[in-house]
Amino acid sequence: MVDLTLQSGLVERIYWLIRLRWIAIIGLSLTVLFVDKIFAIPIYAFPLYAIAGILSIYNLIFLVYLNSITKIKIANLTTIANRIANIQISFDLVSLTALIHFSGGIENPFIFYFIFHMIIASILLSRRASFLQATFATVLFILMVNLEYHNILPHHCLKGFVPFTLHNNILYISGVYFVFISTLYIAVYMATSISKRLREREKTLAEANLLLEEKDRIKSEYVLRVSHDIKEHLSAIQGCLEPVVEGITGELNPKQRDLIRRADERTEKLLYFVRALLEISRIKLSKHIEMDYFSLKNAVDNALNFIETKAKDKGISLSVNIEAGIDTIRGAEVYIEETIANMLANSVKYTPRNGKIGIEVKDEGDSVLIQISDTGIGIPKNELPKIFDEFYRARNAREVERNGTGLGLSIAKQVIERHKGKIWVESEEGKGSTFSVTLPKS
Contact set with ligand ADP (CB under 6 A): 346-347, 350, 374, 376-379, 387, 392-394, 397, 404-410, 433
Q: Find the shortest distance in angstroms from Cβ 381 to ligand ADP.
A: 12
For ligand ADP, the closer CB: 83 or 395: 395
For ligand ADP, the closer CB: 59 or 433: 433
Identity of the amino acid at 144: M
For ligand ADP, the closer CB: 346 or 414: 346
- Cα 51 to its chain centre, rounded Å, is 36
Q: Find the shortest distance in angstroms from Cβ 32 to ligand ADP.
A: 59
For ligand ADP, the closer CB: 99 or 303: 303
Name the DSSP letter for residue 331: E
Show contacts of 403-407: CB within 8 Å, 24+ apart.
Answer: 403/269, 404/349, 405/272, 405/273, 405/276, 405/277, 407/273, 407/276, 407/277, 407/279, 407/280
User: Residue 14: which H helix or E strand, with range?
Assistant: helix 10-33
Burial of 129 (C-beta count, 10 Å sphere; 0-12/13-18/19+)? middle
Q: Find the shortest distance in angstroms from Cβ 228 to ligand ADP.
A: 21
C-alpha span between 232 and 209 (Å, rounded) = 34
One-character DSSP codes across 295-327: EHHHHHHHHHHHHHHHHHHTT-EEEEEE-TT--
Q: Find the shortest distance in angstroms from Cβ 374 to ligand ADP.
A: 5
For ligand ADP, the closer CB: 368 or 397: 397
Neighbours of 333 (CB within 10 A): 20
Q: Find the shortest distance in angstroms from Cβ 400 to ligand ADP.
A: 9
For ligand ADP, the closer CB: 118 or 372: 372
Q: Find the shortest distance in angstroms from Cβ 207 to ligand ADP.
A: 32
Name the DSSP letter for residue 197: H
Residues whose CB is less than 8 angstroms from the CB of residue 85 and which lie 6 or more positions away in sequence, other chains included: 10, 13, 14, 17, 124, 125
User: Residue 123: which H helix or E strand, with range?
Assistant: helix 114-124
For ligand ADP, the closer CB: 99 or 409: 409
Q: Find the shortest distance in angstroms from Cβ 390 to ligand ADP.
A: 8
